[in-house]
Amino acid sequence: MMDSTGFSGSDFDIRNYLDILGKRTKEGKYICPNCGGHNLSINKENGKYTCYDCEDRPAVFKAIKEKAGEWKDFSESWKKPLRPESTKNFLYLNREGDPLVKVERIDLGDGKKKFPQWRWDASQKRYVRRLTGISREDIPIYRYKEVRKAISEDKKIFVAEGESCVDALWQLGIPATTNIGGAGKWQKSDSVDLEGAKIVICPDRDIKGIKHTDKIAEDFPEAEWLYAYPHSVLWDRLSKEHGADVADWIVEDSLTAEDLLAAIEQQKRQIEVYSNRSSKKLENKSDGADDSSPKVDFKPRHIRWDKSCDSWRIGPGGLWATIKFLREELKL
């Protein structure tokens, strides 16, 4: 079920924890249990809340639960459910509505899957293997005709990664689309197909998903965002791939269209990813966000600047790895 913050997986209502938050300020705000700022705003009518200092609702949720002694790490680990052996076809019609491409999803039952692609052969009146002779820009977005109709009706279009996610959204009555080929394959022609649309971008919860949706967002700076399992701590330590997606979230939490619409976020989150093999940082942050971290000549993977509390945070390398690094760096 969806709770009043737009987070799922609990019956959390911040209005039941006002005694933990203490007295309000003269401006009617509470002290944020996450960052300590005096800028936590709570809507007494519907229970929605935002801290305008840290702007990190998942962290506020966790901090309140910890203070109440109720915190359970809902998402410390997550593994995509195995699909049974099955085959499903997804059809890409051309912009006139005629057969063009078929994508076949073959689940092998062990977590592995294949996606062979087929093209329509008009002379044989059947699909044949490979897309020989078809240019990428001639392949429209998935469910193109339905999407264009929804755009004409001024409906929001959800852009997800993968046809299964799109179909799951349509089953709830939510117009959605994706590009052929999955993550990293978004093309300019796909953006053109969405001309005039109000976009809600739905990233998969993994590094590939963030990079993929960053690319889409370049053409849609006004897009809104929908993060599957929005309270999950795993958004702070993404796996390379195979992360949760909106279809997983819909099924696991039995979500409705109203639940999803209530969970839409106006701004792109700031998401920092530190690889265990390098100090490379990938950022997914709101337009105009500034880098307020101290300027230093090194960027170890073991520590990172936490803007919400203006301090360094120990990263995946652990405390002793950080101490060792600093000793070497400072020649202690």
Dump pLDDT digits (tens) for 171-225. Answer: 999 999 999 999 999 999 999 999 999 999 999 999 999 999 999 999 999 999 9
Judge whether 40 and 31 are in contact, CB under 8 Å.
yes
Do the beta carbons of residue 274 and residue 312 sit within 8 Å? no
Contact criterion met (CB below 8 Å) for 282 and 26: no
Q: What is the pTM of this model?
A: 0.64
pLDDT digits (tens, 9 = 90+) for 14-68: 999 999 898 888 889 999 998 888 899 999 888 889 899 888 877 788 888 888 8
Show the CA angle centred on residue 47, arms to residues 306 and 269, nearest 5°: 30
Give Rg (Cα) of the chain. 22
Domains of the chain, start order: 14-67 (no CATH), 86-262 (3.40.1360.10), 294-332 (no CATH)
Which pLDDT belongs to residue 147?
A: 99
CA angle (157, 161, 162) in 5-degree steps: 105
Quick check: 4 pLDDT over 50? no
SS3 content of the chain, % helix, strand, coil (to 5): 25, 20, 55
Q: What percent of the chain has pLDDT over 90?
A: 56
**Higher pLDDT among residues 228 and 313, named by residue:** 228
User: How high is the mean pLDDT of the chain?
Assistant: 83
pLDDT of residue 276: 41
Dump pLDDT digits (tens) for 236-266: 888 889 999 999 999 988 999 999 999 999 9
How far, in Å, CA of 91 to CA of 143, rounded?
A: 8
